[in-house]
Amino acid sequence: MPFPSDTAPDTEVFDLIDREVERQCTGLQLIASENFTSPAVMRAVGSALTNKYAEGYPGKRYYGGNAIVDDIESIAIERVKALFGADHANVQPHSGANANMCAYQAVLDAGDTVLGLSLDHGGHLTHGSPVNASGKLYHFVAYKVTPGDERVDMDQVRDLALEHRPKLIVAGTTSYPRRLEPEAFKAIADEVGALFMFDAAHIAGLIAGGAHPNPVPYADIVTFTTHKTLRGPRGGCILSTAQHAAAIDKAVFPGWQGGPLEHVIAGKAVAFHEAAQPSFRDYAQQIVRNASALADALVQRGFRLVSGGTDIHLMVVDLRPFDADLTGKEAQTVLDVAGITLNKNSIPDDPRSPFVTSGVRIGTPSVTTQGMKEPEMVRIAELISRALRHRTDAAELAAVKADVASLCAAFPAY
Ligand code: DSN
Protein backbone atom coordinates (compact mmCIF):
# COMPACT_ATOMS: atom_id res chain seq x y z
CA MET A 1 0.00 0.00 0.00
CA PRO A 2 1.49 3.38 -0.88
CA PHE A 3 2.17 5.89 1.85
CA PRO A 4 0.01 9.01 1.65
CA SER A 5 3.11 11.16 1.26
CA ASP A 6 4.02 9.23 -1.94
CA THR A 7 1.19 11.06 -3.68
CA ALA A 8 0.78 14.04 -1.33
CA PRO A 9 4.31 15.06 -0.37
CA ASP A 10 4.49 17.18 2.76
CA THR A 11 6.22 20.13 1.21
CA GLU A 12 5.21 22.31 4.14
CA VAL A 13 7.37 20.45 6.65
CA PHE A 14 10.21 19.55 4.26
CA ASP A 15 10.52 23.12 3.03
CA LEU A 16 10.91 24.19 6.63
CA ILE A 17 13.54 21.51 7.23
CA ASP A 18 15.43 22.77 4.17
CA ARG A 19 15.24 26.31 5.51
CA GLU A 20 16.52 25.20 8.91
CA VAL A 21 19.49 23.40 7.32
CA GLU A 22 20.22 26.60 5.42
CA ARG A 23 19.95 28.65 8.61
CA GLN A 24 22.35 26.32 10.40
CA CYS A 25 24.85 26.40 7.53
CA THR A 26 24.81 30.11 6.71
CA GLY A 27 24.94 31.46 10.26
CA LEU A 28 27.32 31.06 13.17
CA GLN A 29 26.03 28.47 15.63
CA LEU A 30 27.44 29.47 19.01
CA ILE A 31 24.95 27.83 21.38
CA ALA A 32 27.27 25.92 23.71
CA SER A 33 24.99 22.89 23.94
CA GLU A 34 24.55 22.43 20.18
CA ASN A 35 26.66 20.80 17.49
CA PHE A 36 26.50 19.44 13.95
CA THR A 37 26.04 15.70 14.17
CA SER A 38 27.49 13.56 11.39
CA PRO A 39 25.59 12.26 8.34
CA ALA A 40 26.32 8.74 9.67
CA VAL A 41 24.55 9.52 12.95
CA MET A 42 21.62 11.06 11.06
CA ARG A 43 21.38 7.98 8.85
CA ALA A 44 21.03 5.78 11.93
CA VAL A 45 18.49 8.09 13.56
CA GLY A 46 16.46 8.27 10.34
CA SER A 47 16.42 4.49 9.94
CA ALA A 48 13.65 1.86 10.16
CA LEU A 49 14.73 1.16 13.74
CA THR A 50 12.17 3.84 14.64
CA ASN A 51 9.52 1.18 13.94
CA LYS A 52 10.63 -1.18 16.70
CA TYR A 53 9.27 -1.51 20.22
CA ALA A 54 11.83 -2.92 22.63
CA GLU A 55 10.83 -2.35 26.27
CA GLY A 56 13.40 -4.03 28.44
CA TYR A 57 17.07 -4.64 27.79
CA PRO A 58 19.12 -6.79 25.38
CA GLY A 59 18.15 -10.45 25.92
CA LYS A 60 15.22 -9.45 28.20
CA ARG A 61 12.54 -7.68 26.17
CA TYR A 62 8.77 -7.58 26.44
CA TYR A 63 8.26 -7.87 22.64
CA GLY A 64 9.47 -10.26 19.95
CA GLY A 65 11.65 -9.48 16.98
CA ASN A 66 14.38 -7.81 18.96
CA ALA A 67 17.45 -9.89 18.01
CA ILE A 68 18.90 -7.17 15.80
CA VAL A 69 17.95 -4.34 18.10
CA ASP A 70 19.58 -6.29 20.94
CA ASP A 71 22.83 -6.36 18.96
CA ILE A 72 22.63 -2.64 18.28
CA GLU A 73 21.93 -1.69 21.89
CA SER A 74 24.66 -4.06 23.12
CA ILE A 75 27.16 -2.47 20.72
CA ALA A 76 26.20 0.99 22.02
CA ILE A 77 26.63 -0.18 25.61
CA GLU A 78 30.03 -1.80 25.01
CA ARG A 79 31.31 1.17 23.01
CA VAL A 80 30.38 3.76 25.61
CA LYS A 81 31.77 1.64 28.46
CA ALA A 82 35.07 1.38 26.60
CA LEU A 83 35.09 5.09 25.69
CA PHE A 84 34.80 6.25 29.31
CA GLY A 85 36.15 3.20 31.17
CA ALA A 86 32.85 2.52 32.94
CA ASP A 87 31.62 -0.70 34.56
CA HIS A 88 28.04 -0.22 33.44
CA ALA A 89 26.11 1.84 30.90
CA ASN A 90 22.47 2.51 30.21
CA VAL A 91 21.99 4.09 26.77
CA GLN A 92 18.19 4.42 26.91
CA PRO A 93 17.58 7.84 28.52
CA HIS A 94 15.77 10.06 26.05
CA SER A 95 17.56 13.16 27.32
CA GLY A 96 20.03 14.46 29.86
CA ALA A 97 17.17 15.58 32.10
CA ASN A 98 15.72 12.07 32.05
CA ALA A 99 19.15 10.58 32.73
CA ASN A 100 19.46 12.75 35.84
CA MET A 101 15.99 11.94 37.12
CA CYS A 102 16.60 8.21 36.55
CA ALA A 103 19.91 8.43 38.41
CA TYR A 104 18.19 10.12 41.36
CA GLN A 105 15.44 7.53 41.37
CA ALA A 106 18.06 4.78 41.43
CA VAL A 107 19.79 5.96 44.59
CA LEU A 108 17.46 8.35 46.43
CA ASP A 109 14.15 8.28 48.25
CA ALA A 110 11.76 11.22 48.09
CA GLY A 111 12.88 13.94 50.49
CA ASP A 112 16.54 12.89 50.57
CA THR A 113 19.10 15.68 50.75
CA VAL A 114 21.25 16.39 47.70
CA LEU A 115 23.93 19.02 47.07
CA GLY A 116 23.98 20.63 43.62
CA LEU A 117 25.17 23.80 41.87
CA SER A 118 22.57 26.56 41.84
CA LEU A 119 20.89 27.04 38.43
CA ASP A 120 21.57 30.79 38.40
CA HIS A 121 25.26 30.14 39.04
CA GLY A 122 25.65 27.67 36.18
CA GLY A 123 23.91 24.47 37.32
CA HIS A 124 21.00 22.73 35.58
CA LEU A 125 17.25 22.69 36.16
CA THR A 126 17.51 19.06 37.24
CA HIS A 127 20.03 19.98 39.94
CA GLY A 128 17.21 20.95 42.27
CA SER A 129 15.51 23.97 40.74
CA PRO A 130 12.25 24.48 42.66
CA VAL A 131 10.29 24.55 39.39
CA ASN A 132 11.70 21.16 38.33
CA ALA A 133 10.67 17.70 39.56
CA SER A 134 14.17 17.30 41.06
CA GLY A 135 13.53 20.23 43.39
CA LYS A 136 10.04 19.04 44.24
CA LEU A 137 10.95 15.40 44.93
CA TYR A 138 14.26 15.85 46.74
CA HIS A 139 15.67 18.30 49.25
CA PHE A 140 18.37 20.07 47.26
CA VAL A 141 20.86 22.36 48.94
CA ALA A 142 22.63 24.68 46.48
CA TYR A 143 26.29 25.57 46.40
CA LYS A 144 27.24 28.68 44.47
CA VAL A 145 30.20 30.40 42.92
CA THR A 146 32.00 32.90 45.11
CA PRO A 147 31.38 36.63 44.49
CA GLY A 148 35.13 37.25 44.22
CA ASP A 149 36.39 34.93 41.51
CA GLU A 150 33.04 33.53 40.32
CA ARG A 151 34.30 29.98 40.73
CA VAL A 152 32.94 27.06 42.72
CA ASP A 153 34.62 27.16 46.10
CA MET A 154 35.36 23.62 47.26
CA ASP A 155 35.61 24.81 50.89
CA GLN A 156 32.00 26.02 50.62
CA VAL A 157 30.96 22.67 49.09
CA ARG A 158 32.66 20.86 51.97
CA ASP A 159 31.09 23.14 54.62
CA LEU A 160 27.62 22.58 53.14
CA ALA A 161 28.23 18.84 52.92
CA LEU A 162 29.30 18.70 56.56
CA GLU A 163 26.31 20.80 57.62
CA HIS A 164 23.59 19.05 55.58
CA ARG A 165 25.00 15.50 55.31
CA PRO A 166 23.58 14.90 51.79
CA LYS A 167 22.92 11.41 50.50
CA LEU A 168 24.20 12.53 47.10
CA ILE A 169 26.53 15.25 45.86
CA VAL A 170 26.01 16.36 42.26
CA ALA A 171 28.77 18.06 40.28
CA GLY A 172 27.95 19.34 36.84
CA THR A 173 27.15 22.51 34.97
CA THR A 174 25.43 24.05 31.98
CA SER A 175 26.81 27.57 32.03
CA TYR A 176 29.89 27.51 34.21
CA PRO A 177 33.05 28.11 32.18
CA ARG A 178 35.53 26.35 34.46
CA ARG A 179 36.43 22.75 35.16
CA LEU A 180 34.94 20.99 38.14
CA GLU A 181 37.56 18.64 39.54
CA PRO A 182 35.94 15.22 40.09
CA GLU A 183 38.62 14.12 42.55
CA ALA A 184 37.93 17.03 44.90
CA PHE A 185 34.18 16.29 44.92
CA LYS A 186 34.83 12.62 45.53
CA ALA A 187 36.99 13.43 48.57
CA ILE A 188 34.14 15.49 50.09
CA ALA A 189 31.55 12.82 49.26
CA ASP A 190 33.71 10.21 50.99
CA GLU A 191 34.23 12.42 54.02
CA VAL A 192 30.47 12.81 54.60
CA GLY A 193 29.45 9.33 53.41
CA ALA A 194 27.58 10.65 50.34
CA LEU A 195 27.28 9.17 46.90
CA PHE A 196 28.84 11.21 44.09
CA MET A 197 27.22 11.90 40.73
CA PHE A 198 28.86 13.86 37.93
CA ASP A 199 26.59 15.39 35.30
CA ALA A 200 28.87 15.57 32.27
CA ALA A 201 26.12 16.70 29.87
CA HIS A 202 28.14 19.52 28.39
CA ILE A 203 31.63 18.09 28.54
CA ALA A 204 31.18 14.42 27.60
CA GLY A 205 32.92 15.03 24.26
CA LEU A 206 35.79 16.83 25.94
CA ILE A 207 36.22 13.89 28.31
CA ALA A 208 36.06 11.37 25.45
CA GLY A 209 38.65 13.42 23.59
CA GLY A 210 40.99 13.76 26.57
CA ALA A 211 40.41 17.51 26.95
CA HIS A 212 38.83 17.27 30.42
CA PRO A 213 39.49 14.96 33.41
CA ASN A 214 37.35 11.83 33.31
CA PRO A 215 34.97 11.68 36.31
CA VAL A 216 34.22 7.97 35.83
CA PRO A 217 37.02 6.70 38.12
CA TYR A 218 35.70 8.91 40.95
CA ALA A 219 31.92 9.00 40.57
CA ASP A 220 29.30 6.43 41.48
CA ILE A 221 27.20 7.69 38.58
CA VAL A 222 28.00 9.82 35.52
CA THR A 223 25.18 11.16 33.37
CA PHE A 224 25.55 12.98 30.09
CA THR A 225 23.87 14.00 26.87
CA THR A 226 25.02 12.58 23.58
CA HIS A 227 24.38 15.60 21.37
CA LYS A 228 26.53 18.39 22.79
CA THR A 229 30.32 18.19 22.64
CA LEU A 230 29.97 14.44 22.02
CA ARG A 231 28.30 15.34 18.70
CA GLY A 232 25.89 12.42 18.53
CA PRO A 233 22.09 12.28 18.32
CA ARG A 234 19.89 14.10 20.83
CA GLY A 235 19.69 11.87 23.90
CA GLY A 236 21.08 10.86 27.27
CA CYS A 237 23.21 8.15 28.84
CA ILE A 238 24.07 6.93 32.34
CA LEU A 239 27.34 5.30 33.40
CA SER A 240 27.75 3.76 36.82
CA THR A 241 29.78 1.45 38.96
CA ALA A 242 28.73 -2.20 38.94
CA GLN A 243 27.22 -1.65 42.38
CA HIS A 244 24.51 0.67 41.01
CA ALA A 245 23.95 -1.10 37.68
CA ALA A 246 20.73 -2.95 38.52
CA ALA A 247 19.17 0.07 40.27
CA ILE A 248 20.01 2.35 37.33
CA ASP A 249 18.50 -0.04 34.79
CA LYS A 250 15.35 -0.44 36.89
CA ALA A 251 15.03 3.31 37.31
CA VAL A 252 15.23 3.92 33.53
CA PHE A 253 12.83 1.11 32.64
CA PRO A 254 10.23 0.53 34.01
CA GLY A 255 10.85 3.35 36.49
CA TRP A 256 10.95 6.48 34.39
CA GLN A 257 10.60 5.62 30.68
CA GLY A 258 8.74 3.19 28.45
CA GLY A 259 9.99 2.01 25.07
CA PRO A 260 13.58 2.95 24.24
CA LEU A 261 14.25 4.86 21.00
CA GLU A 262 16.35 2.24 19.26
CA HIS A 263 16.99 4.44 16.20
CA VAL A 264 18.49 7.03 18.53
CA ILE A 265 20.42 4.33 20.38
CA ALA A 266 21.88 3.29 17.01
CA GLY A 267 22.85 6.93 16.47
CA LYS A 268 24.50 6.93 19.90
CA ALA A 269 26.46 3.79 18.96
CA VAL A 270 27.70 5.53 15.80
CA ALA A 271 28.66 8.63 17.80
CA PHE A 272 30.57 6.53 20.37
CA HIS A 273 32.47 4.92 17.47
CA GLU A 274 33.29 8.35 16.06
CA ALA A 275 34.38 9.65 19.47
CA ALA A 276 36.80 6.73 19.82
CA GLN A 277 38.71 7.73 16.67
CA PRO A 278 42.04 9.59 17.04
CA SER A 279 40.65 12.54 15.05
CA PHE A 280 38.06 13.12 17.78
CA ARG A 281 40.88 13.87 20.23
CA ASP A 282 42.08 16.62 17.89
CA TYR A 283 38.52 17.90 17.67
CA ALA A 284 38.05 18.04 21.46
CA GLN A 285 41.37 19.84 22.01
CA GLN A 286 40.56 22.32 19.26
CA ILE A 287 37.15 23.13 20.82
CA VAL A 288 38.95 24.22 23.98
CA ARG A 289 41.68 26.14 22.11
CA ASN A 290 38.98 27.91 20.11
CA ALA A 291 37.02 28.83 23.23
CA SER A 292 40.15 30.27 24.77
CA ALA A 293 40.96 32.28 21.63
CA LEU A 294 37.40 33.59 21.37
CA ALA A 295 37.43 34.52 25.06
CA ASP A 296 40.68 36.51 24.66
CA ALA A 297 39.38 38.28 21.56
CA LEU A 298 36.14 39.26 23.32
CA VAL A 299 38.03 40.65 26.31
CA GLN A 300 40.15 42.74 23.94
CA ARG A 301 36.91 44.24 22.62
CA GLY A 302 35.65 45.34 26.04
CA PHE A 303 33.56 42.39 27.18
CA ARG A 304 33.95 40.90 30.67
CA LEU A 305 33.99 37.15 31.05
CA VAL A 306 32.49 35.51 34.11
CA SER A 307 35.40 34.08 36.13
CA GLY A 308 37.78 35.89 33.77
CA GLY A 309 37.87 33.23 31.05
CA THR A 310 37.23 29.59 30.25
CA ASP A 311 38.80 26.15 30.66
CA ILE A 312 36.28 24.35 28.51
CA HIS A 313 34.08 24.84 25.43
CA LEU A 314 32.01 27.76 26.66
CA MET A 315 32.19 31.21 28.17
CA VAL A 316 29.64 33.42 29.88
CA VAL A 317 29.93 37.05 28.81
CA ASP A 318 28.93 39.90 31.11
CA LEU A 319 27.76 42.56 28.65
CA ARG A 320 27.64 45.48 31.10
CA PRO A 321 31.23 46.73 30.75
CA PHE A 322 30.76 46.71 26.94
CA ASP A 323 27.47 48.61 27.19
CA ALA A 324 25.61 49.11 30.47
CA ASP A 325 22.23 49.32 28.69
CA LEU A 326 22.65 46.16 26.63
CA THR A 327 20.78 43.16 28.04
CA GLY A 328 21.35 39.52 27.17
CA LYS A 329 17.86 39.40 25.68
CA GLU A 330 18.56 42.28 23.32
CA ALA A 331 22.01 40.92 22.41
CA GLN A 332 20.51 37.53 21.51
CA THR A 333 17.86 39.21 19.31
CA VAL A 334 20.29 41.56 17.58
CA LEU A 335 22.82 38.80 16.93
CA ASP A 336 20.08 36.59 15.52
CA VAL A 337 19.37 39.30 12.96
CA ALA A 338 23.08 39.28 12.10
CA GLY A 339 23.11 35.48 11.64
CA ILE A 340 24.90 34.77 14.93
CA THR A 341 22.99 32.35 17.15
CA LEU A 342 23.66 32.20 20.88
CA ASN A 343 21.59 32.43 24.06
CA LYS A 344 21.05 35.02 26.72
CA ASN A 345 22.37 33.85 30.06
CA SER A 346 22.25 35.05 33.64
CA ILE A 347 25.55 36.04 35.15
CA PRO A 348 26.11 35.15 38.83
CA ASP A 349 23.87 37.35 41.02
CA ASP A 350 22.42 38.98 37.92
CA PRO A 351 20.37 42.07 38.79
CA ARG A 352 18.17 41.37 35.74
CA SER A 353 15.58 38.59 35.49
CA PRO A 354 16.41 35.24 33.80
CA PHE A 355 14.22 36.35 30.86
CA VAL A 356 16.28 39.49 30.36
CA THR A 357 19.75 38.81 31.85
CA SER A 358 22.99 40.77 31.68
CA GLY A 359 24.93 38.12 29.79
CA VAL A 360 25.17 35.69 26.94
CA ARG A 361 26.66 32.20 26.76
CA ILE A 362 28.92 31.34 23.84
CA GLY A 363 30.27 27.92 22.88
CA THR A 364 32.66 26.65 20.24
CA PRO A 365 31.65 22.99 19.54
CA SER A 366 29.73 23.74 16.31
CA VAL A 367 32.19 26.14 14.71
CA THR A 368 35.00 23.71 15.58
CA THR A 369 33.13 20.91 13.81
CA GLN A 370 33.06 23.22 10.79
CA GLY A 371 36.86 23.34 10.89
CA MET A 372 37.28 26.87 12.22
CA LYS A 373 40.39 27.60 14.25
CA GLU A 374 41.90 30.44 16.30
CA PRO A 375 42.02 33.07 13.46
CA GLU A 376 38.31 32.54 12.81
CA MET A 377 37.59 33.00 16.54
CA VAL A 378 39.09 36.49 16.33
CA ARG A 379 36.85 37.20 13.33
CA ILE A 380 33.81 35.93 15.27
CA ALA A 381 34.60 38.19 18.22
CA GLU A 382 34.86 41.13 15.82
CA LEU A 383 31.54 40.24 14.16
CA ILE A 384 29.80 39.98 17.56
CA SER A 385 31.21 43.27 18.74
CA ARG A 386 30.40 45.03 15.46
CA ALA A 387 26.80 43.84 15.48
CA LEU A 388 26.27 44.85 19.11
CA ARG A 389 27.93 48.25 18.67
CA HIS A 390 25.67 49.00 15.69
CA ARG A 391 22.59 47.27 17.01
CA THR A 392 20.13 49.92 15.88
CA ASP A 393 21.63 50.18 12.39
CA ALA A 394 19.76 47.75 10.11
CA ALA A 395 22.17 48.25 7.20
CA GLU A 396 25.21 47.43 9.36
CA LEU A 397 23.49 44.35 10.78
CA ALA A 398 22.78 43.20 7.22
CA ALA A 399 26.46 43.77 6.37
CA VAL A 400 27.52 41.70 9.40
CA LYS A 401 25.10 38.97 8.34
CA ALA A 402 26.69 38.90 4.86
CA ASP A 403 30.18 38.63 6.43
CA VAL A 404 28.94 35.81 8.69
CA ALA A 405 27.55 33.97 5.65
CA SER A 406 30.83 34.29 3.78
CA LEU A 407 32.81 33.03 6.79
CA CYS A 408 30.45 30.04 7.12
CA ALA A 409 30.62 29.34 3.37
CA ALA A 410 34.37 28.79 3.75
CA PHE A 411 33.72 26.20 6.48
CA PRO A 412 30.68 24.17 5.38
CA ALA A 413 29.19 21.97 8.07
CA TYR A 414 27.78 19.51 5.55
N1 DSN B 1 19.52 23.08 27.32
C2 DSN B 1 20.84 22.69 27.75
C3 DSN B 1 21.82 23.80 27.59
O4 DSN B 1 21.64 24.62 26.72
O5 DSN B 1 22.80 23.85 28.32
C6 DSN B 1 20.84 22.18 29.12
O7 DSN B 1 19.87 21.22 29.25
pLDDT in tens, the chain (414 residues): 999 999 999 999 999 999 999 999 999 999 999 999 999 999 999 999 999 999 999 999 999 999 999 999 999 999 999 999 999 999 999 999 999 999 999 999 999 999 999 999 999 999 999 999 999 999 999 999 999 999 999 999 999 999 999 999 999 999 999 999 999 999 999 999 999 999 999 999 999 999 999 999 999 999 999 999 999 999 999 999 999 999 999 999 999 999 999 999 999 999 999 999 999 999 999 999 999 999 999 999 999 999 999 999 999 999 999 999 999 999 999 999 999 999 999 999 999 999 999 999 999 999 999 999 999 999 999 999 999 999 999 999 999 999 999 999 999 999
Instruction: Tell me which of 52, 79, 167, 228 is the catalytic residue.
Output: 228
Residue nearest to atom 1 of ligand 1 (CA): 33
- Using alpha carbons, select from 160, 164, 170 the residue that is nearest to residue 215: 170
CB-based contact 195:185 (threshold 8 Å) = no
Round to whole Å and give the CA distance between 367 and 301: 20
DSSP 8-state class, residue 70: H
Tell me whether residue 30 is exposed, middle or buried, using C-beta atoms within 10 angstroms of its C-beta: 0 to 12, 13 to 18, 19 or more. buried
R_g of the chain computed on alpha carbons = 22
pTM above 0.95, yes or no: yes
Domains and CATH numbers, the chain: 42-275 (3.40.640.10), 279-410 (3.90.1150.10)
Distance 276 CA to ligand 1 centre (A): 24
Round to whole Å and give the CA distance between 347 and 305: 9
User: Which strand (E) or helix (H) includes residue 22?
Assistant: helix 11-26
Active site residue 228: yes
Q: Which ligand 1 atom is at minimum distance from the Cα of 202?
A: 5
Distance 33 CA to ligand 1 centre (A): 6
Sheet hosting strand 314-318, strand order edge to edge: 304-305, 314-318, 359-363, 343-345
Helices 67-84, 262-275: crossing angle, 10 deg rounding: 30
Round to whole Å and give the CA distance between 187 and 196: 10
Round to whole Å and give the CA distance between 320 and 306: 11
Coil, strand or helix at 6: helix
Pocket of ligand 1, candidates 202, 234, 361: which has the most ligand atoms within 8 Å of its Cβ, to mutate?
Answer: 202
Question: Any residues with Cβ below 6 Å from ligand 1, and which?
Answer: 33, 96, 124, 174
* CA atoms within a 13 Å half-sphere pointing along the CA-CB vector of 91: 31
Distance 65 CA to ligand 1 centre (A): 36
Between vectors from CA 312 to CA 252 and to CA 130, what angle results, nearest 5°?
A: 45
N residues, the chain: 414
Active site residue 262: no
- Using alpha carbons, select from 267, 241, 282, 274 the residue that is nearest to residue 81: 241
Round to whole Å and give the CA distance between 256 and 250: 9
Instruction: Tell me which of 225, 226, 229, 327 is the catalytic residue.
Output: 225
| Dihedral sign from CA coordinates of 95, 101, 102, 103 | positive
Residue nearest to atom 5 of ligand 1 (CA): 174
Active site residue 225: yes
- Using alpha carbons, select from 132, 103, 137, 106 the residue that is nearest to residue 119: 132
Distance 365 CA to ligand 1 centre (A): 14
Q: Which ligand 1 atom is at minimum distance from the Cα of 175?
A: 5
Residue nearest to atom 2 of ligand 1 (CA): 33
Residue nearest to atom 4 of ligand 1 (CA): 33
Residue nearest to atom 3 of ligand 1 (CA): 33
